[in-house]
Amino acid sequence: MDVPVHQAGEAPERAYFIERKTKETRITADLCLDGGEVQISTGIGFFDHMLTALAFYAGFGLRLEADGDLEVDGHHTVEDVGIVLGQAFRQALGDKKGIRRFASSYVPMDEALCRTVLDCSNRPFLVFDAPMRQERIGSYDSCLTVEFMRAFAVNAGLTLHQHCLYGDNAHHITEALFKSLGLALKDAVRIQGQSVVSTKGVL
C-alpha cells in the first residue's frame, strides 16, 4: 500500500492529494511543495522522465500515477496530468502568504537554451514559444508539451511564459522547458516573509 508523500500526523501545510477520474483517464497525485519522494508512472516513458525532472528541480515531493487511453494517443493523459498537477499545486500553495511569487530560470541543454518566467498570480495565462523540429520523442508527441504547460498554468493559477531562445533537438528543448519550470517554481514558492506579495493584499 502506497504511503503519502507526507506521513500521517506529520502532514506539512503545503501538501495536497488529489484523484481525478474521467472516461479517458484516471489520475492520482500526492504533492508536497516542501520535498519528499518522487515516483511517476504515466505509461509514457519520456513524459515520466520530464515530470521526474520537474519535481526534482522544483524540490517537490510527488507521487503521481496515470492510467489513460494510450491506445488512442498520449494527448488525454498528458493534458489531464497537467490539470491534476495544477490543481494540486494550487491547493498546496494555499493563501500564498509569504511566498516570493515571481521567478525566472534559464536552462541550457546542449545546443538548446530555454527560459521560464512565472508569477503565482491567480491570473492564469500561458505564452509559449518553443517550436519543435521533431514531431516525436520516443512515444511522446512533441506538441504535447504546450498542452501540458497550458493545462498546468490554467489550473495552478500561474501566469507562465516559456521561450526557447534557440535549439534544434526536440528532446533537449522539452527537457530544458520542464527543468526551467521546476527551478522557477522552486524559487517562486519559497517563503521569504509573512504577508501576501501584492499591493492588493490578496492573490
Reported as a single tens digit per residue, the pLDDT across 69-89 is: 999 999 999 999 999 999 999
pLDDT score at 11: 46
% of the chain at pLDDT higher than 90: 86
Report, as an integer, the average pLDDT of 125-141: 97
- In this structure, is residue 26 part of a structural domain? yes
- In this structure, is residue 100 part of a structural domain? yes
Sheet holding 38-41, edge to edge: 15-21, 25-32, 61-68, 38-41
- In this structure, is residue 10 part of a structural domain? no
Better-predicted residue by pLDDT, 10 or 109: 109
- In this structure, is residue 6 part of a structural domain? no
pLDDT score at 203: 75
- Residue 175: pLDDT above 80? yes
% of the chain at pLDDT higher than 70: 94
How does pLDDT run across 157-174, given as a tens digit for each residue?
Answer: 999 999 999 999 999 999
- In this structure, is residue 112 part of a structural domain? yes
The count of structural domains within the chain is 1
pLDDT grade, residue 202 (50/70/90)?
confident
- In this structure, is residue 81 part of a structural domain? yes
pLDDT score at 1: 37
Torsion of Cα atoms, 145 then 143 then 112 then 83, to 10°: -10
Q: How far is Cα 25 from Cα 67, in angstroms, rounded to an integer?
A: 6
Q: How far is Cα 121 from Cα 93, in angstroms, rounded to an integer?
A: 12
Tell me the CATH number at 35: 3.30.230.40
Q: Which domain holds residue 77?
A: 15-188
Residue 106 grid cell: 534559464
- In this structure, is residue 5 part of a structural domain? no
- In this structure, is residue 2 part of a structural domain? no
Please, what is the average pLDDT of the chain?
93
